[in-house]
Amino acid sequence: MKEAMQKFSRSAIIPVKFMAVMGLFLAFSVIMQLEVMPSFIQQLGLLIKSMMDGMLNNLALIFCIAITSSMAKKNKMEAGVLSVIVFLIFLAANNAWLTTHGMLAKEGAMGLYGTGQGYVLGFQVVDMNVFLGMILGCVTAYIHNKFSEKQFIDMLSIYAGPRLAFIIMIPITLVLAIILSYVWPVINNGIESLSGVILGAGLFGVFLYGFGNRFLIPTGLHHLLWMPFCFTAIGGTAEINGQMYTGAVNIFYAEMANVGTITTLDPSLRFALFGFSKVFACIPIALALIHCAKKSRKDEVKGMVLPAAFVGTVAGITEALDFTFLFASPLLWFVHSLLAGFSEALIWGLGIRTFVKDGIIDTVVSNSVFSPSLTKVYLFVLVGLVMSVVWYVVFVFLIKKFNLKTPGREEELAVVGVNGQETNVASINEAQVNQQGDIDLVISGLGGAENIEEITNCFTRLRVEVKEPEKVDKVLLEKISLCKGVVMNEKNVQVIIGMGVQPFKEEVCEALGLE
């Protein structure tokens, strides 16, 4: 179950990366449409806004393609094409069933709002938003992996391989289109109830959400917590300028695009505050680690944590820093998660409405289109500076109080060589590393090419499924020059690389002869 959830989360994260760019250009388009701008700049801004709306309003299709292509083990291009076909035939089938059975909702003064139905690519269907793309993407990927390599005799070969997967998906899609016409309205009511419970929990609900987003990072399952709140109806629903939007991030981006009509920011924003600890905690944590390191190793620790802290603060990718202390002290990680949850509850309780999902760049650009009186960004910065001091003081206190073996405080081990002299273990490992490049180290550390079943990646991690976990050499993997840590869960191995994980994964796949 956990392995399946991890596969899904790393697949669903792909469109989220592109949405960061969409949010950036939405902000630019709003600025370009200000009255002080020349008319041609305003028109250009309107065009850019329309382009980004085209993406925002069709996230279900984007998620469907991303999930199918990512989860496909082979023939990823064919899997992507199949996902588009399945998505389209589902819309046609669902619309036809609703039409022939008199189930089509009638539009009111606010369109189809409140009817449980909506328009997707011109089809009036059951309104599932991105859940539709997620469900179809998972089912399509499963069928593709199961049947896309099946072959028939030459005369029937046109119906083999990926086409066989399509043949099987036709009846499956038809059944889903019919069943979901009846089942989804019930599920939708349950989602609304769940959202109401969490919203009704007030500040405690914000705290739990913020704590969970931090604490689950080592498992890779944190995506499964924040994505539903940010991109589905679990996070809330809002009508903006005649259009319905679901999910905290989608709603905020829609508010950005219609800033002239926005007088208050939607309450769903409480689910898009988890970047606070990225912006204000990374640097104080890095400084605390440097402060507590042994004097002889401070320069080494600086080189390790300062670049990682910079990336976390600016871009919002914190794993490179997280894994420098997470394994050294789970206590620090637990306290860090508590402080993250407390901070989010605090800023929400103070009435601060600053959107902060990622790092400084995204935070500044996204909030610049709104009046400071609306976002209270000045209070946001003040609270952030205070909490930065708290993070630093707490980390320094805990590290020294419990003598935690954070970077630069580890015991230096030695072994006796053949000549009877002590030799530092690190020098032996370094010699081994020098004999192998990073790519060879990965393959060897994973038990050899024959032990590797599947390789994928998320934001910062190389994720590998191995056949025999006992063959994995964790110590060897940790000697990769880019490695920030290794997480193992039976057959699932995660090597934390950082922002350069994508090209690194491609090099590994090329060396293994994989797609």
Gap between the Cα atoms of 445 and 432, Å rounded: 12
How many CB atoms are closer than 10 A to CB 416? Answer: 9
252-263: b or e for each residue (b if 16 or more CB lie within 10 Å)?
Answer: bbbbbbebeebe
| DSSP code for 217 | G
Catalytic residue selected from 64, 230, 458, 483: 458
DSSP-based three-state secondary structure for 250: helix
What φ, ψ does residue 513 adopt, rounded to 5°? 75, 30
Gap between the Cα atoms of 314 and 298, Å rounded: 23
Gap between the Cα atoms of 147 and 168, Å rounded: 9
Rg (CA), the chain: 25
Structure tokens at 220: 């890779």
458 in active site:
yes
Gap between the Cα atoms of 25 and 41, Å rounded: 14
Structure tokens at 95: 């619309």
Cα 430 to Cα 203, 294, 420, 422, 481, distances in angstroms: 50, 21, 20, 16, 10
- The CA-based angle 334-340-342, given to 5 degrees, is 105
H/E element, 416: strand 414-416
How many CB atoms are closer than 10 A to CB 188? Answer: 17
E-assigned strands of 52-167?
117-120, 123-126
Burial of 314 by CB count in 10 Å (0-12 exposed, 13-18 middle, 19+ buried)? middle
272-304: b or e for each residue (b if 16 or more CB lie within 10 Å)?
Answer: bbbbbbbbbbbbbbbbbbbebbeeebeeebbeb
Gap between the Cα atoms of 38 and 149, Å rounded: 57
DSSP-based three-state secondary structure for 456: strand
| DSSP code for 108 | B
In 3D space, the residue among 166, 171, 168, 164 whose CA is nearest the CA of residue 149 turns out to be 164
Q: Which residues are catalytic?
A: 458
